[in-house]
Structure 1
Amino acid sequence: MTHPPHDLGRTVYRPVRGGNALEDTVARLVQTVRLGLVAPGESLPSERELAERYAVSRDTVRQAIGELADAGYVVRRRGRYGGTFVADPLPPSADGPVDAAELDDVLGLRRVLEAGAARAAASRMLTDAARATLEDRHAATAAASAGDYRRLDSLLHLTIAELAGIPSLLPLVVENRARVNAWLDTFPLLPRNIEHSDAQHDRIVASILTGRPDAAEAAVLDHLAGSEALLRGFLA
Structure 2
Amino acid sequence: MTRQLEDTTGDSPIDAAPLLGIDRRSAIDAVRLRIGMAISLGLLQPGERLPDQQDVALGLSVSPITARRALASLADQGVVVRRRGRGGGTFVADEPPQNVLEELAASPAESHAVNRLVDRRLLFECAVTHFAAVNATAAQLDELERLTHEMAGSSNWSEYHQADERFHRLVAACSGLGAAVDVYNEALAELYAYFIPYPIEFLHESNRDHIALVNALRAGDDRGAVEVSRRHVDVLHKTMFMGLAGGDGHQSG
TM-score range relative to shorter protein: 0.5 to 0.7
Runs of 4 or more above 6 Å deviation: none
**AA aligned opposite 1:206:** N
Query: What residue is the counterpart of 2:164 in the other structure?
Result: 153
- Structure 1: runs of 5 or more not aligned: 1-66, 74-86
Query: What residue is the counterpart of 1:163 in the other structure?
Result: 174
**AA aligned opposite 1:172:** V
Report which of the two structures shows the higher radius of gyration computed on alpha carbons: 1
Whether the 8 Å CA contact 2:44–2:197 is kept in 1: the answer is: yes
The 3-state SS of whatever aligns with 2:139 is: helix
Q: Distance in 2 between matches of 1:193 and 1:220?
A: 17
Aligned-residue offset at 1:219:
0.4
Query: What residue is the counterpart of 1:201 in the other structure?
Result: 210
Aligned-residue offset at 1:119:
1.3
Q: Distance in 2 between matches of 1:221 and 1:89?
A: 37
Aligned-residue offset at 1:151:
1.2
Among 106, 110, 113, which residue is 2:117 paired with?
Answer: 106
- Scaled by the length of structure 2, what TM-score is found? 0.54
Q: Distance in 2 between matches of 1:121 and 1:70?
A: 33
Whether the 8 Å CA contact 1:183–1:231 is kept in 2: the answer is: no
Query: What residue is the counterpart of 1:211 in the other structure?
Result: 220
Question: Which of 1 and 2 has higher RCO (CA within 8 Å, sep 6+)?
Answer: 1
Query: What residue is the counterpart of 1:175 in the other structure?
Result: 186
Partner deviation per Cα, 1:99-152 (whole Å, 9 max, x = no partner): 34422321111001111111111123x333222222222222222231211111
% identical equivalent positions? 19
- Structure 2 CA distance for partners of 1:139 and 1:231, relative to 1, 3 Å: closer
- Structure 2 CA distance for partners of 1:226 and 1:98, relative to 1, 3 Å: farther
1:15-54 aligned at under 5 Å gives the runs none
Among 143, 150, 157, which residue is 1:140 paired with?
Answer: 150
Which protein is richer in helix relative to its size? 1
The 3-state SS of whatever aligns with 1:180 is: helix
- Structure 2 CA distance for partners of 1:231 and 1:130, relative to 1, 3 Å: closer
Aligned-residue offset at 1:202:
1.1
- Structure 2 CA distance for partners of 1:172 and 1:189, relative to 1, 3 Å: same
Partner deviation per Cα, 1:137-181 (whole Å, 9 max, x = no partner): 222222223121111101100000000011112211211111111
Q: Distance in 1 between matches of 2:174 and 2:117?
A: 22
**AA aligned opposite 2:142:** A
Whether the 8 Å CA contact 2:141–2:214 is kept in 1: the answer is: no
**AA aligned opposite 2:132:** A
Query: What residue is the counterpart of 2:139 in the other structure?
Result: 129
Q: Distance in 1 between matches of 2:190 and 2:154?
A: 22
Q: Distance in 2 between matches of 1:101 and 1:95?
A: 10
Q: Distance in 1 between matches of 2:197 and 2:238?
A: 14
Structure 1, 132-141 or 168-177: larger mean CA deviation: 132-141
The 3-state SS of whatever aligns with 2:131 is: helix
The 3-state SS of whatever aligns with 1:233 is: coil
Q: Distance in 1 between matches of 2:165 and 2:97?
A: 34
- Structure 2 CA distance for partners of 1:232 and 1:95, relative to 1, 3 Å: closer
- Scaled by the length of structure 1, what TM-score is found? 0.58
Partner deviation per Cα, 1:19-51 (whole Å, 9 max, x = no partner): xxxxxxxxxxxxxxxxxxxxxxxxxxxxxxxxx
Q: Distance in 1 between matches of 2:193 and 2:105?
A: 10
The alignment's C-alpha RMSD in Å is 2.6
- Structure 2 CA distance for partners of 1:198 and 1:231, relative to 1, 3 Å: closer
Query: What residue is the counterpart of 1:230 in the other structure?
Result: 239
